[in-house]
Amino acid sequence: MTRQSAIARRVEQLLGTAVVSTAPVAGGDINAATRLRLADGRVVLLKSQPSPPAGFFASEARGLAQLADAGAPVPRPLAVDDACLVLPWIEHGRPTVDAAERLGRDLAAVHQQPRPAYGDEADGWIGRLPLPNQAADSWAEFYARHRVQPYLRRALERGAIDPDDAAVVAAVAGRLGDLVPEEPPALLHGDLWNGNVVWGLDGRAWLVDPAAHGGHRESDLAMLALFGLPQLPRVLAAYDEVYPLADGWEERVGIHQLFPLLVHAAMFGGGYGDRAARIAHTFL
pLDDT digits (tens, 9 = 90+) for 29-80: 789 999 999 999 999 999 999 889 999 999 999 999 999 999 999 999 999 9
Backbone conformation region of residue 243, classed left if phi is above 0, alpha if psi is from -120 to 50, else beta:
beta
Provide the residue type at 5 as one letter: S
Chain segment 117-130, per-residue pLDDT in tens: 999 999 999 999 99
Chain segment 267-282, per-residue pLDDT in tens: 999 899 999 999 999 9
Q: How far is CA 233 from CA 174, 220, 228, in A?
A: 31, 14, 11
Q: Is 178 a catalytic residue?
A: no
Rounded mean pLDDT, 199-216: 98
Tell the burial category of 104 from Cβ atoms under 10 Å away from its Cβ (0-12, 13-18, 19+).
buried
**What pLDDT is recorded for position 269?**
94
Residue 108 has pLDDT above 90, yes or no: yes
Residue 150 has pLDDT above 50, yes or no: yes
Rounded mean pLDDT, 169-185: 97
**What pLDDT is recorded for position 1?**
44
Q: How far is CA 276 from CA 33, 81, 220, in A?
A: 31, 36, 17
Chain segment 224-252, per-residue pLDDT in tens: 999 999 999 999 999 999 999 999 999 99
Active-site residue, selected from the candidate residues 191, 209, 240, 247: 191
Rounded mean pLDDT, 136-147: 97
Distance, CA of 81 to CA of 279 (rounded, Å)? 40
Rounded mean pLDDT, 78-84: 96
Q: Which of 22-31, 113-122, 184-193 has the lowest mean pLDDT?
A: 22-31
Distance, CA of 115 to CA of 118 (rounded, Å)? 7
pLDDT band at 4 (very low <50, low <70, confident <90, very high): confident
**What pLDDT is recorded for position 3?**
55
Domain at 97-281, CATH class: alpha beta
* Partner residues linked to 35 by β-bridges: 23, 45
Q: Do the first three CATH levels of 3-88 and 97-281 match, i.e. the same topology?
A: no
Pure H helices in the chain: 3-15, 56-69, 97-111, 139-143, 149-157, 163-173, 176-179, 217-226, 232-242, 253-268, 272-281
Q: Identify the CATH homologous superfamily for domain 3-88.
A: Phosphorylase Kinase; domain 1 (3.30.200.20)
Residue-wise burial string across 171-187, b where 16 or more C-beta atoms lie within 10 A, e elsewhere = ebbeebeeebeeeebbb
**What pLDDT is recorded for position 114?**
86
Q: Is 168 helix (H, G, I), strand (E, B) or coil?
A: helix
Provide the residue type at 159 as one letter: G
Residue of 273, 253, 241, 11 lying closest to 155 (CA atoms):
273
**What pLDDT is recorded for position 5?**
84
The domain ranges of the chain are 3-88, 97-281
